[in-house]
């Protein structure tokens, strides 16, 4: 019997990510790298209601971003009759109304159910737009939904790119156990079983997945590194935005504003007398923004705490390079936080900014155990006094000692923690999988 699955377009890659893509640096950099290496890449993301993001965007690299609108109405996966949409519409609308009401009452599970329906509908749209791709590149479990839908009706090669231990991260870590078991058995394990290759952000994430699932034989660790920024003059964007001179120390947190990132602990640390001459800047966005602005007005820290809007990935490096130390005291609330190596770690090292980080295994290996280390200091993230101690350790010394930290970071970035090294690993994996 002939194979009825759709034909594929050689050297084409469909990436799937359940966000608007614009600020997802890892996804954009991987897509640009594969495009430069000869593949033709389309990133399928979402488009929120009332978003200003384009439905279709062409990057200068040649990568195309296709954003599929979220809707309360269902789409159906490739291979399904469109009549299914008519049958499913009442179910989708009823659940949306019911879950919205329950979410308004503060029932957390309602938001998760609503998100699951939205993910399914978006996944079906994205899969329909990608059925002729040769490679289906799923970013995290959520990106795996359209990848599995599309793989069912094509001869595509599937790659799973796990940015984190997904079911141990964010609100999924707090979901009922039966929900996580259902997602693991019905999505993540089938995704890993179907995948020809697995990409992870560090060895610890790969280890966790290998202990829980059957994983592909072909695997690669692609760290979230950046292109090193080597400049004899430190950029002034951050200092100009705050209005500070070059000799005023700045401790910078950049990224998402959420409690698990240790932002309240950072502000509590700022009260420590050892930090009385140090300014703290928060650069980013997220649900804690209003709270941060309120905390920044406290009399004991007023004038030394600055909350700034996020900047584009294209200029972020210059802002980070203007800080004296990068802060990342993630709280040990979930397994995912414990094994994480956040983007900001490499974004800081890559521009010569030493870091203060939670004392977690992967971070210790990078910050202290490498041949160029130490690249900063580790701390107990739940203890503001210890965060303050670590900040002083990095930027409380002599000018020569502070410059030594920056020099070691730049050396480490040039030697190993740079994007070119990661591109080589990524392209090698794709080359191994490419039937051509």
Please report the domains of the chain, with CATH numbers, ordered by start residue. 9-225+420-433 (3.40.50.2000), 237-417 (3.40.50.2000)
Assign 176 to helix, strand or coil.
Answer: coil
Would you say residue 363 has pLDDT above 90?
Answer: yes
Omega into 412 within 30° of 0, i.e. cis?
A: no
Backbone angles phi, psi at 176, to 5 degrees: -55, 145
Q: How many residues does the chain have?
A: 436
Is residue 182 within 8 Å of 204, Cβ to Cβ? no
Looking at residue 2, its pLDDT comes to 39
Residue 76: is its pLDDT beyond 50? yes
Mean pLDDT of 177-191: 90
* Residue 245 to residue 341: CA distance in whole angstroms: 31
pLDDT range class, residue 1, cuts 50, 70, 90 = very low
> Is the predicted pLDDT of residue 374 greater than 70, yes or no?
yes
CB distance 265 to 387 below 8 Å: yes
Residue with tokens 């509908």: 121
Tens-place pLDDT, residues 249-302 = 999 999 999 999 999 999 999 999 999 999 999 999 999 999 999 999 999 988
pLDDT reported for residue 94: 82
Which of 88-102, 156-170, 276-290, 338-352 has the weakest average pLDDT?
88-102
- pTM, two decimals, is 0.89
Residue 3 has pLDDT above 60, yes or no: no
Q: Is the pLDDT of residue 394 over 80?
A: yes
Segment 114-124 mean pLDDT: 86
Structure tokens that stand for 184 in this block: 């693991």
Rounded Cα gap, residues 237 and 240, in angstroms? 5
Q: Looking at residues 42-65, what average pLDDT do you find?
A: 93
Predicted confidence band of residue 102 (pLDDT cuts 50, 70, 90): confident
Query: Which position has the higher pLDDT, 109 or 305?
Result: 305
The confidence band for 436, taking pLDDT boundaries of 50, 70 and 90, is low
CB neighbours of 20 closer than 8 A, spacing ≥ 6?
45, 46, 47, 48, 51, 53, 67
Least trusted range by pLDDT, from 171-175, 217-221, 402-406, 421-425:
171-175
- Check residue 85 and give its pLDDT: 76
Q: Is the pLDDT of residue 4 over 70?
A: no
Confidence category of residue 59, pLDDT binned at 50, 70, 90: very high
Percent helix / strand / coil, the chain, rounded to 5: 45, 20, 35
In this prediction, what percent of the chain has a pLDDT beyond 70?
Answer: 98
| Between 238 and 172, residue with greater pLDDT | 238
* Three-state secondary-structure class, residue 273: helix
The contacts of residue 264 (CB under 8 Å, 6+ apart) are 295
Closest CA to 435 of 127, 144, 41, 9: 9
Angle of helix 313-321 versus helix 343-350 axis, rounded to 10: 60
Phi and psi for 308 in degrees, rounded to 5?
-120, 150
Q: Distance (Å, rounded) from C-alpha 372 to C-alpha 228?
A: 15
Strands (E), 286-404: 305-309, 325-328, 355-358, 376-379
Q: How far is CA 330 from the centre of its chain?
A: 14
- β-strand pairing of 40-47 with 305-309: unpaired
* pLDDT tens column, 221-255: 999 999 888 776 789 999 999 999 988 999 999 99
Give the C-alpha separation, 143 to 161, whole Å. Answer: 9
DSSP 310-332: ---HHHHHHHHHT-SEEEE---T
Sheet with strand 133-139: strands edge to edge: 56-58, 64-69, 40-47, 9-16, 133-139, 157-162, 197-200, 218-221
Distance CA 219, CA 80 (A): 32
């Amino acid at each position: 019997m002939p194979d009825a699955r759709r034909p594929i377009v050689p050297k084409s890659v469909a990436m799937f990510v359940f966000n608007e893509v614009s600020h997802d640096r890892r996804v954009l950099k991987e897509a640009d790298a594969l495009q430069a290496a000869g593949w033709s890449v389309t990133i399928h993301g979402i488009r929120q209601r009332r978003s200003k993001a384009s439905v279709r965007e062409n990057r200068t690299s040649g990568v195309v971003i296709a954003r599929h609108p979220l809707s309360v109405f269902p789409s159906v996966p490739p291979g399904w009759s469109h009549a299914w949409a008519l049958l499913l519409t009442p179910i989708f609308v009823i659940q949306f109304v019911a879950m919205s009401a329950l979410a308004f009452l503060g029932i957390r599970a309602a938001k998760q159910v609503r998100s699951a329906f939205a993910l399914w509908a978006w996944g079906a749209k994205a899969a329909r737009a990608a059925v002729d791709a040769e490679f289906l590149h799923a970013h995290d479990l959520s990106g795996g939904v359209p990848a599995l839908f599309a793989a069912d009706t094509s001869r595509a090669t599937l790659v799973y790119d796990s940015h984190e231990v997904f079911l141990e991260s964010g609100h999924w870590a707090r979901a009922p156990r039966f929900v996580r078991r259902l997602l693991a058995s019905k999505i993540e394990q089938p995704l890993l079983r179907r995948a020809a290759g697995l990409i992870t952000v560090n060895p610890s994430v790969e280890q966790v997945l290998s202990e829980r699932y059957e994983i592909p034989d072909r695997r690669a660790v692609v760290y979230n590194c950046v292109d090193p920024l080597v400049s004899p003059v430190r950029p002034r964007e951050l200092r100009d935005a705050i209005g500070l001179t070059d000799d005023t120390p700045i401790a910078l947190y950049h990224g998402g504003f959420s409690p698990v990132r240790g932002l309240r602990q950072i502000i509590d640390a700022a009260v420590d007398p050892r930090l009385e001459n140090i300014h703290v800047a928060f650069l980013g966005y997220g649900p804690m923004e209003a709270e941060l602005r309120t905390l920044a007005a406290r009399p004991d820290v007023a004038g030394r705490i600055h909350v700034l809007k996020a900047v584009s990935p294209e200029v972020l490096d210059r802002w980070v390079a203007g800080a004296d130390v990068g802060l990342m005291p993630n709280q040990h609330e979930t397994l995912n936080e414990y094994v994480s190596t956040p983007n900001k770690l490499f974004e800081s090292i890559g521009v010569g900014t030493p870091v203060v980080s939670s004392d977690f295994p992967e971070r210790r290996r990078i910050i202290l155990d490498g041949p160029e280390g130490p690249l900063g200091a580790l701390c107990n993230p739940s203890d503001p006094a210890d965060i303050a101690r670590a900040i002083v350790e990095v930027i409380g010394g002599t000018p020569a000692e502070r410059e030594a930290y920056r020099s070691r970071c730049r050396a480490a970035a040039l030697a190993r923690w740079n994007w070119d090294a990661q591109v080589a690993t990524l392209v090698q994996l794709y080359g191994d999988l490419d039937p051509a």
